[in-house]
Amino acid sequence: MSLITLNLGKKLESALASGHPWVYRNHLPEHRLKTGDWVRLEAGKLSRIGLFDKEGAIAVRLFAETSVPDQTFIHERVKDALSLRTFVSNDTNAYRLIYGESDFLPGLVADRYNRFVVIRTYSKSLESILDDVVWSLSKELNLKGIAWRTERGLEALWGELPPPELTVMEKGLKFIANLYEGQKTGLFLDQRENRQTLRGLAKDKTVLNLFSYNGGFSVYALAGGAKEVTSVDIAPAANADAERNAEINGFINHKALTADVFSFLQDYARDANKVDMVVLDPPSMAKDKQSKFAALRAYKKLNTLALKCLNQGGLLVSSSCTSQVFPEDFKTMLAEACQDAKVQAQVIHEAGHALDHPVSIAFPEGRYLKFVVLRVLK
């Protein structure tokens, strides 16, 4: 079968040369492609091969320069991604194996939970390479099963399905992962190294962990010797998991509250309650560029309130996973929040996501997580 070739025109040559893996629909000329077809795109002297999808703004995800990816090509990409993960320490068995665009397999994410892998695909076209990815992972890793998480639920692609609850290890701490219904593929693996940073800062502190999900930051704070930790999340199921995660690690000085953080913080600040550390890790607040400023206003409100709840010398551990908010925007927002809260602060640590979430230099969108620790002086 011959490969359909589309000419994008010379103007898009530099876009292809940049290595960015997406081509938007409005850049394609007339064609008769179907979702999941490979297509050759030409622009000036360059050509690239990608997968076409008829839905969404991204029409083609680019994979190769010369020939249509076959099983060997995908296997090499998977092996390359896995070779980066050899730095993951022995006390951790939950981590990202393939981070889509940043591992040069655009649109596909694979996370490891002990001997199970959960795959998520962000375009139907990815089904064209799914079998090859699964085959490669099953060849390279000693697994029990590989599953595909879709809106239909979890589907076995190879081997067994994972149990409804799986206990995994992160930096020597135990966490219950629900790969069927948990957020992302089960856990927020991207914050692992940041949770470890907080562990080293938590000794003897009273900690408020807001937007706590399954209590990841809480368990690390407790492991670091925190005096008392309160987790707050709007989802009762997440709080039940947080309580169990504290318990299975042998910690008793933890409680989990079900509340909307916005009103919880307002009440907490109004009542002049104080703690030594506040962790803020809200969900993404902007889906597109247009909502970026509304997101920044919401971040400022949250961070200002959190700053008011800190003791002298307290730590604000603040995150943002909104990709439209760039690291400099986030720090400007924090500076404004300090002004509004009438406090002075020092940035004592700044980071992004964990090492198993690399960012392709040609794909800055892959860098979404901001993590800043402020020491606050009143």
Residue 191 touching ligand SAM (CB under 6 A): yes
Buried b / exposed e over 17-34, threshold 16 CB at 10 Å, is eeebbbbeeebbeeeebe
Q: Which is nearer to ligand SAM, 64 or 257 (CB)?
A: 257
Q: Tell the residue number behind the tokens 């940035």, with chain if given.
A: 347
Only one of the segments 15-23, 45-53, 72-80, 276-284 lies at the binding site for ligand SAM (rule: CB under 6 A); that segment is 276-284
Among 28, 262, 358, 375, which residue sits at the site for ligand SAM (rule: CB under 6 A)?
Answer: 262
**Angle at CA of residue 100, ends 153 and 87, nearest 5°:** 105
Q: Tell the residue number behind the tokens 């139907």, with chain if given.
A: 124
CB of 188 to ligand SAM, least distance (A): 3
Contact track, ligand SAM, 319-338, x by CB under 6 A: --x-----------------
Residue 260 touching ligand SAM (CB under 6 A): yes
Only one of the segments 48-56, 73-81, 234-242, 268-276 lies at the binding site for ligand SAM (rule: CB under 6 A); that segment is 234-242
Cα–Cα distance for residue pair 149/180, rounded to 1 Å: 7
Cα–Cα distance for residue pair 244/247, rounded to 1 Å: 5
Contact track, ligand SAM, 196-215, x by CB under 6 A: ---------------xxxx-
Contact track, ligand SAM, 279-308, x by CB under 6 A: --xxx-------------------------
Residue 247 touching ligand SAM (CB under 6 A): no
Size of the site for ligand SAM (CB under 6 A): 19
Q: Which is nearer to ligand SAM, 298 or 335 (CB)?
A: 298
Residue 161 touching ligand SAM (CB under 6 A): no
Residue 235 touching ligand SAM (CB under 6 A): yes
Identity of residue 344 = Q
Among 6, 261, 334, 343, which residue sits at the site for ligand SAM (rule: CB under 6 A)?
Answer: 261
Q: Which is nearer to ligand SAM, 212 or 230 (CB)?
A: 212
Contact track, ligand SAM, 88-117, x by CB under 6 A: ------------------------------
CB of 229 to ligand SAM, least distance (A): 13
Q: Which is nearer to ligand SAM, 214 or 304 (CB)?
A: 214
Greatest C-alpha distance within the chain = 71
Cα–Cα distance for residue pair 203/86, rounded to 1 Å: 30
Judged by the rule CB under 6 A, the positions of this chain that interact with ligand SAM are: 188, 191, 211-214, 216-217, 233-235, 238, 260-262, 281-283, 321
